[in-house]
Amino acid sequence: MAPHMPVTPVIVTCPSCSTDNRVLPRQRALPRCSACDTVLPWIVRADPGRFDEAIVAPIPVLVDLWAPWCSPCATVSPIVDLMGHEYAGRLKVVKLEIDRAYDVAKRYGVESIPLLLILDDGREVDRVAGEITADTLREVLERHVPAGAGDPAV
């Protein structure tokens, strides 16, 4: 098993007021701007030892399984980031370099990359393998991501 890396916050610039905010990979509530309270995109990189912790969220999670040598992964990655911004407050994005995550690859039956998993409450509800367009990924996400912005209804 890979050693646990410290939990490192990601710096996210607020799309409304441009304030830099620290966002943790795991937190109880959706990340919001410290200055204007706008819901922020929740895009994190996970290490294999903290993957299970990273996929915990009160909203659906889009997992991007990728590798640095994979050119289709390099094409899909900006699309995944775009979805994280477009669905801020309704979707968490977790990116995992699969070459370092044998246990995760085995658990999810990864046979090729890029592989995108949609998780809801920790359960896989959909997957998309290979290169994908932004429009196609939006169609997949619309089946699983709640409408509206902000905190999901309790």
Choosing from 17, 33, 36, 73, which is the catalytic residue?
Answer: 73
Residues facing residue 42 across a β-bridge: 92
- Whether 17 sits among the annotated catalytic residues: the reply is no
The residues near 67 (Cβ < 8 Å, ≥ 6 apart) are: 73, 97, 98, 99, 113
Q: Which two tokens stand for residue 143?
A: 């089946």
Residues facing residue 51 across a β-bridge: none
Packed helices 71-86 and 134-142: angle between N→C axes, nearest 10 degrees: 50
Instruction: Tell me which residue has tokens 């819901």.
Output: 39
Choosing from 14, 17, 33, 70, which is the catalytic residue?
Answer: 70
Residue 26 to residue 44: CA distance in whole angstroms? 9
- Whether 70 sits among the annotated catalytic residues: the reply is yes
Query: Catalytic amino acids?
Result: 70, 73
